[in-house]
Structure 1
């Protein structure tokens, strides 16, 4: 298993001191009022330098070469693996272990949406192929009566595709648009989920890197400096959310409290504080401020609770396993069975998050720990169970 963080020259350098011997520092002449003087440029390791290093390390995971991994599912898998490696390297990073499962669940939702979209496409293609026969004058009233093998195959293909498509009766297309209304909804939800998933990773991964490499004292001292690295044209920061919606690197007390709890060995408290930061400070403004997303999530939850239409919606849950399917052994934590529950409301979402955190903590401290460890290793390696 590779180490979660890269090695950097700064790892052994002292904060706020020169990083080169004075004899190796470049010199230049500068004109002053009373003539020319020789100036030595001494590079100093600052907090901003460190934040820039760790931010770039996170960016390379989701955007190698400076370009975001275009496939949101592949990007999600890279994020899942990075979270899992954090916990495997240092079990004190329990939030990261839980995040590996929660982020994996985001990917499960993306895969579900992709599968339904494919079924819609298959049914549409089969219908268009069958329409071609009808437009040519072939109008069989009953399947057994047809003498045309190609037409019979087209009818059977359409029947199979229509039966497999869970939204065949409820979907519609707008003129001139390649996607159906439900496909457009799935596409929007996937983009928003990927946005939240990526933004959270770019916020939290560098925090863990800084703490792991530099310790709590420097972390506490430099945390307020993080926001200063944003906006430099020579050293751009990848931040997928509009800065007016969610500014980069704002100092949040929950972050400091979370890592202070790690330092004290208060693992459960650290998970709680970082979970509050995750949900309140990052996901709430970046995702749940979208009215259209909120509407779609409400519709998904209501459809799942009522079972109508069947096969379209997906349960809001976290399964503490590398697989997507829910389990009956206590590893699946569900959001709510109330039709009125609203995932976008922070006060309703946090109890769900805390239940997942509590169950994760419990399982890590009983006979099921090897089972949890194995699942995290599978996520870290990208191997499904």
Structure 2
């Protein structure tokens, strides 16, 4: 297993103390209050400095060398792995273990949406190719029969892969109506996945490296690192939609619970923060996404239209498909259930958290550990 956190010089330095001996600091003459005086600038490790360090740790995962990983699926994989490594390093971070599976499930949804967009595009291209040949040469044209047969075969294969071939509309532009819908879901899922990681991963790094006392002392200082011209913060959702690094008492309560060994309570508090404070304003208040999620869920539950929708569920394994051994938790079998509703979603999340906790205490623990190790290594069966 690779190390979860980078070893940093600050790990051994004291908060609010100089990080370099005074004798090693530069001394310059400056004009101060009308007099020339000798001034020595002494760098001091502050709460703000620590938050910048740990925020950069998270950014380096999703944006190596300062460039955000462009492919949301690839970015999701490194997020999954980072959550998994958190739990493998310290099993008290049970929220992170659950998040590795939940984020993996987001990756399954990203792939489903991306594949659907591609399948629709492939069918359109194949149909255009077939029609083009027929317009140019007509049907059953001598010398073109083999070409026409291949075009027809390619179209039928593309049509079979496309789950919405009979239901889609093309109103002009690059994408069909369904492609636009799936693309929007894809973008919003990726936004929520990345924003949550950049919020919550640094909290774990700070606590793991500095302990509860300094975490408590410094938590309110975190939001102050946003907006510095020399130390920009990567925050994809934007400050207007969701203010970076806000102080919430429930965060302190979550890590206090970890310190006290009440792991279930810590998971509950972090889940509340995750859903209410981050994901709700980031993605679940988007009216277009709400409509698409509700139609997807109704489609899956009712079976109409067939083949279009993906189940809203969480599988506690390193794979996308459902399992029948108790490791798959479904959202709701009511076609009118609404994932965007915070109360319905919290019930689902907490039910998954309880199942995860129960399975860790039983015969499935070794299977869960193996799956988390696979996720940490980037191995997921799609």
If the length of structure 2 is used for normalisation, what is the TM-score? Answer: 0.97
Which deviations, in whole Å up to 9, do the C-alpha atoms of 1:196-253 show, x marking residues without a partner? 0000000000000000000001000100000000000000000011211100000011
Question: Is the 1:320–1:372 Cα contact (8 Å) retained in structure 2?
Answer: yes
* Correspondence for 2:160 among 159, 163, 175: 163
Question: Is the 1:146–1:152 Cα contact (8 Å) retained in structure 2?
Answer: no
SS at match of 1:268: helix
Q: How does 1:1-385 map to 2 (within 5 A)?
A: 1-139=1-139, 148-175=145-172, 177-384=173-380
CA-CA distance at 1:146 after TM superposition: 11
- Provide the aligned C-alpha RMSD in A: 1.4
CA-CA distance at 1:157 after TM superposition: 2.1
Q: Work out the CA distance in 1 between the residues paired with 2:137 and 2:370.
A: 60
Q: Work out the CA distance in 2 between the residues paired with 1:208 and 1:153.
A: 56
Distance 1:167 1:146, change over 3 A: farther
* Structure 1: 4+ residue segments shifted above 2 A: 32-35
Gaps of 5+ in 2: none
Distance 1:53 1:147, change over 3 A: closer
CA-CA distance at 1:151 after TM superposition: 1.3
Count of matched residue pairs: 380
Q: Work out the CA distance in 1 between the residues paired with 2:143 and 2:272.
A: 63
Question: Is the 2:137–2:144 Cα contact (8 Å) retained in structure 1?
Answer: no
Q: Work out the CA distance in 1 between the residues paired with 2:347 and 2:258.
A: 22
Q: Work out the CA distance in 1 between the residues paired with 2:250 and 2:262.
A: 14
Q: Work out the CA distance in 1 between the residues paired with 2:100 and 2:273.
A: 16
Which deviations, in whole Å up to 9, do the C-alpha atoms of 1:13-32 show, x marking residues without a partner? 11011111110111111113
If the length of structure 1 is used for normalisation, what is the TM-score? Answer: 0.96
Q: Work out the CA distance in 2 between the residues paired with 1:313 and 1:289.
A: 21
Distance 1:34 1:121, change over 3 A: closer
Q: Work out the CA distance in 2 between the residues paired with 1:372 and 1:310.
A: 32
